[in-house]
Amino acid sequence: MEFYKGKRVLITGHTGFKGSWMCRVLLDMGADVTGYALDPPTEPSLFELCALHKQMRSVTGDIRDLDHLNKTVMTLQPEIVIHMAAQPIVRTSYRDPVYTYETNVMGTVNILEAVRRCPSVRSVINVTTDKVYENKEWPWGYRENDELNGFDPYSNSKSCSELVTSSYRNSFFGGNAEDDRRVAVSTCRAGNVIGGGDFAKDRIVPDCFRAVSEGKEIYVRNPSSVRPYQHVLEPVMAYLLVAMRQYEDAGLIGSYNIGPDDTDCRTTAEMVDIFCSKWNAAASEDRHLNKATWSGKPDNGPHEAGLLKLDCSKIKAALGWKPEWDLEKALEKTVEWHAAYLGKEDVSDIMSRQISEYLNSDQESGRL
Q: Per-residue pLDDT for 156 more than 90?
A: yes
Residues 114-138 have a mean pLDDT of 96
Tell me the backbone φ, ψ of residue 175, rounded to 5 degrees.
Answer: 75, 20
Write down the pLDDT at residue 191: 80
| pLDDT of 272 strictly over 70 | yes
**pLDDT tens digit string along 215-261?**
999 999 889 998 899 999 999 999 999 999 999 999 999 999 999 99
- The answer to whether residue 359 scores a pLDDT higher than 60 is yes
* Domains within the chain, CATH numbers bracketed: 6-272+292-360 (3.40.50.720)
| Per-residue pLDDT at 176 exceeds 70 | no
- Least Cα distance to 12 among 100, 73, 97, 102 occurs for 73
What's the whole-number mean pLDDT along residues 153-173? 96
Residue 297 pLDDT class (50, 70, 90 cuts): confident
Cα separation of 11 and 26, whole Å?
Answer: 10
**pLDDT of residue 68 exceeding 60:** yes
Most distant pair of Cα atoms in the chain: their distance: 68
Give the span between the Cα atoms of 18 and 23, in whole angstroms: 9
Residue 179 has pLDDT above 70, yes or no: no
CB 25 within 8 A of CB 353: no
Cis peptide before 88 (omega within 30 of 0): no
The CA distance from 344 to 338, in Å, is 10
Instruction: Reply yes or no on whether the pLDDT at 365 is more than 60.
Output: no
Q: Contact at 8 Å (CB) between 246 and 253? A: yes
In order of 227, 260, 261, the CA distances from 324 in angstroms are: 18, 9, 10
